[in-house]
Structure 1
Amino acid sequence: MSRLNSLRSRFVDAPDSLGAKARARRWHWFAQRFPDLSEMSVIDLGGTVSAWLRAPVRPARVRVVNLEKPPTDLPDWVRADVADACDLPREIRAEGYDLVFSNAVIEHVGGHLRRQLFADAVHELADRHWVQTPYRYFPVEPHFLFPGFQYLPIAARTALLRRWPLVHTPTSDREAARTIVMEVELLSITEMRHYFPSSQIHYERLGGLVKSVIAMKEKAG
């Protein structure tokens, strides 16, 4: 492992990294906001089963919806479906849920119209929700760990991605790199207020700067 790869682990991936500590704080905050979580049915749009198995919190039931195939060996409190969160099958939409959860997904769904469909699904599925996304104007782009990456032209981002070793999944292929770059569209606070007009907007900060934005609705009705 190169020194830069070790640096990514230190800041993001390792159990004692800054990223891991931030995730732990976020889980703690989430549990505080929804104190009856252990009795709730939660649908997670775009999450993973592994994240819930590692989480320090456990709802009564979790249904995970993701485009990737889930593991086959699931505990009895977790259900997983392969589906598009912007175009959910009727059987998923028809079931009742207490809370919609989504962590760092809405910036990946692809353009304004699909983000609106995603938000519409959040509002339809349950009265309460927690939708988190990295903030567009935080100085360091969180997916690629490069300062100001989100402001560069696509060609420059593509070239950087092919050479920058701090990305989660590096690739030297130009087409693959361009696709990865174009799949991430960070959101502003104004956009989050537009998609979630009746929600409370909360901020996760690092060094006094807004690092991520959370649209939250804590009470039903």
Structure 2
Amino acid sequence: MSRLNALRSRFVDAPNSLGAKARARRWQWFAGQFPGLDQMSVIDLGGTAGAWMRAPVQPAHVHIVNLEQPPADLPSWLRADVADACDLPASIRSSRYDLVFSNAVIEHVGGHLRRGQFADTVHELADRHWVQTPYRYFPVEPHFLFPAFQFLPLAARTSILRRWPLVHTPTSDRDAARMIAMEVELLSVTEMRHYFPKSQIRFERLAGLVKSVIAVRT
């Protein structure tokens, strides 16, 4: 592992990293907002089974919807389906849950129309939700760990991704790097309020700066 890759692990990926500690604090905050979580049915839009299996609080039932194939062997309280959260099949959309959960997904779905469809899904599935997304104006782009990356022209972002060693999945291919850059569109507070007008908008901070924005309805 190179020195810079080790730096990414130290700050983001390792179990004792700053990122891991921030995720643990967010889980505690989330669980505190929904004190009956252990008795709830939860649908997670875009999440993973591993995240719930490591979570400090286990809901009664969790239904994960993701575009990627889930692990083959899941505990009985976990269900996972491959589906598009912006266009769920009727078999899922007709269901009702106690809570919708989504962590760092809405910025990946692709444009204003798709974000609106994603928000509609959240509102339809449950009365309560927790939808978190990294804040557009935090000075370091959290997916790529590069200062002000989100404000650069696409050509510059593509060039950086082909060389920047702190990217989670490095690639030297120009087309692949361009696709990775285009797949992330960070949101502002105004946009989150637009998509979730009846929610409380809360902020996760780092060093006094807003790091992520969370739409919460309890």
* 1:128-139 paired onto structure 2 within 5 Å: 128-139=128-139
Q: TM-score, normalised by structure 2?
A: 0.99
Taking the TM superposition and a 5 Å limit, the aligned residue runs for 1:1-221 are 1-218=1-218
Structure 1 residue matching 2:31: 3-state secondary structure: helix
CA RMSD in angstroms, aligned pairs only: 0.4
**How far did 1:54 drift?**
1.3
**How many aligned residue pairs are there?**
218
SS of residue in 1 equivalent to 2:56 = coil
Aligned partners of 1:215, 1:206: CA distance in 2, in Å? 18
- Identical pairs, percent: 80
Name the TM-score, length of structure 1 as normaliser: 0.98
Deviation at 1:84, TM superposition (A): 0.2
Matched to 1:166, the amino acid is: L
Tell me the distance in 2 between the aligned counterparts of 1:84 and 1:105. Answer: 12
Q: Distance in 1 between matches of 2:189 and 2:17?
A: 27
Measure the CA separation in 1 of the matches of 2:49 and 2:140: 28
Which aligned runs of 4 or more in structure 1 are off by greater than 3 angstroms? none
Distance 1:135 1:78 in 2: 30
Structure 2: stretches of 5+ with no match in the other structure: none
* Secondary structure of 1:15's aligned partner: coil
- Residue aligned with 1:175, SS: helix
**Aligned AA for 1:94?**
S
Deviation at 1:95, TM superposition (A): 1.5
